[in-house]
Amino acid sequence: MDTRLTILGTRPSYLNHLLYEMRDVTRQQDRMRFRMNLERTGEILAYEISRHLPYQPQPVTTPLGSLDIDLLDQQPVIISIMRAGLPLHQGFLRIFDQADNGFIAAYRHHTQGNEFIIKVEYMALPDITDRDLILVDPMIATGKSLVLSYQHLLDLGKPRRILIAGVIGSEEGVQYVLRNIPQAHIWVAALDHELTARSYIVPGLGDAGDLAFGPK
Ligand code: URA
């Protein structure tokens, strides 16, 4: 397994309960709970990623004395792919509460049959030059929207680090991302093995955007 890929769910933890509820065909119908579980997963992913960022000691004075505490040497930039990325993004912000933020609208435009191209239509982005960039995409199915989004981002600057977070990845999708973004590290809660002919992850959880916000 590539050392640039971390699958959090391989070591059992409470994260499995969140994955269970998001995957379960009945429980996932509760939209509020589904969004909340995406947010909670975002918090866990953000905390794990925070362990891989650089820190610098900073003095702090308490009522009884002083000490140094290691704090992030810079705030990350969190950029999410809409629409399903929105609740996950919210979870990231509960950990990285002073981060800069960006949003990209990337979607599948179906051409014929199961064929599609990814279209990027909207970007609201801060400067990413020399920043620690966290790209958030809940379902890394083919990896193509992530790679295309990253290519658009590179026109605006070169980040210092590129960290990618997803809830469920497919083997094919994460390999595609690792091949096309050689400096990327990826964190997913789970890695599934297959894609359907329409490039949905199997067993996956279905359409994360529809489950969070309703059918489009
Ligand atoms: N997007 C989703 O929401 N689910 C998938 O399985 C693939 C892409």
Residue pointed to by tokens 């690792």: 178
pLDDT at 129: 97
User: Which three-class secondary structure string do you get for 37-96?
Assistant: HHHHHHHHHHHHHHCCCCEEEEEEEECCEEEEEEEECCCCEEEEEECCHHHHHHHHHHHC
Q: Reduced to 3 states, what is the DSSP secondary structure of residue 126?
A: coil
Ligand 1 contact, 84 CB (< 6 A): yes
Q: Which two structure tokens, joined as six digits, stand for 126?
A: 């801060």
65's CB contacts (< 8 A; 6+ apart) are: none
58's CB contacts (< 8 A; 6+ apart) are: 68, 69, 70, 71
- Atom 5 of ligand 1: nearest residue by CA position: 200
Locate the ligand 1 atom nearest the alpha carbon of residue 210 and give its number.
3
Distance (Å, whole) CA 8 – CA 167: 10
Tell me how far the alpha carbon of residue 67 lies from the centroid of ligand 1, in angstroms: 47
Q: Which two structure tokens, joined as six digits, stand for 48?
A: 């794990």
Candidate of 140, 199, 200, 216 to mutate for ligand 1, largest count of ligand atoms within 8 Å of Cβ:
200
Residue 5: which H helix or E strand, with range?
Answer: strand 5-7
pLDDT at 43: 98
pLDDT at 116: 83
Over the chain (216 residues), the average pLDDT of each successive run of 10 is 92 97 98 98 98 98 98 97 95 98 89 84 93 97 95 93 98 97 97 95 98 95
Distance (Å, whole) CA 104 – CA 82: 6
Instruction: Using DSSP bridges, classify how beta strands 116-124 and 161-170 pair: parallel, antiparallel or unpaired.
Output: unpaired
Locate the ligand 1 atom nearest the alpha carbon of residue 211 and give its number.
3
Tell me how far the alpha carbon of residue 181 lies from the centroid of ligand 1, in angstroms: 21
Distance (Å, whole) CA 109 – CA 129: 30
pTM given for the model: 0.95
Largest CA distance in the chain: 69
Question: What is each CA distance from 193 to 37, 71, 183, in whole angstroms?
Answer: 22, 38, 23
